[in-house]
Chain A
Amino acid sequence: EAGVTQFPSHSVIEKGQTVTLRCDPISGHDNLYWYRRVMGKEIKFLLHFVKESKQDESGMPNNRFLAERTGGTYSTLKVQPAELEDSGVYFCASSAVTGGEQFFGPGTRLTVL
């Protein structure tokens, strides 16, 4: 069974540009989470989807971040326009049930110059 996959693995962009990260959860997992780790800091929760609905988006930093999960399968996280402080590793995780074990993808390392 394929695990959680994320694309791209790395992205280097300039301040002011737009970047879109993609996450494909484990097949059949209704719950999808986005987290971010800024260098040297803890991994922080961004938002939680149940199917296509946003269950909790309390961790989203500001309105430059937009997450979607059309059709309840894969999810995208768009940062527009990117700022220097957006640099970090963005992890996606999925779980079969809410509160169940979360399986993490390998992350997307975003560098904003």
Chain B
Amino acid sequence: GQQLNQSPQSMFIQEGEDVSMNCTSSSIFNTWLWYKQDPGEGPVLLIALYKAGELTSNGRLTAQFGITRKDSFLNISASIPSDVGIYFCAAQGKNSGYSTLTFGKGTMLLVSP
């Protein structure tokens, strides 16, 4: 089946540092998404990318849809303690029915004040 390889698995950083995480796949996708999950909650959509090469920002978050349509990255600038959580990449494409989501394994982010 299709897989998204997400890295790093976890990160422990100091408040104020920038963070970068990425997802790669051997398959082509039409949409890349980044979610954040807080403890006890479900994933919440942060950024959606619909076009190869697209670079989108949402506050301190920036994400890009890779030009090959097989990868995406998420950057968080000037991290703060409330950025703590698990970040998931997800993608939609023809093989997943254009609606169902294929997820990466997640990146656990810990921020030290």
Contacts and interface: CB of A to CB of B under 8 A. Distances in A.
Interface of A: 4, 9, 31, 33, 35, 40-45, 48, 55-56, 59, 91, 93, 95, 98-99, 101-107
Given A99-B98, A101-B48, A43 B103 contact: yes
A44 B96 CA distance: 11
Interface string B97-110: 11111111110000
Contacts of A43: 43, 88, 90, 101, 103, 106
Interface of B: 3-4, 6, 35, 40-45, 48, 88, 90, 92, 96-106
A43 B100 CA distance: 11
Please report whether the interface of chain B is mostly helix, strand, loop or mixed according to DSSP.
loop
Contacts of B43: 43, 91, 104
A59 B104 CA distance: 16
A33 B100 contact: yes
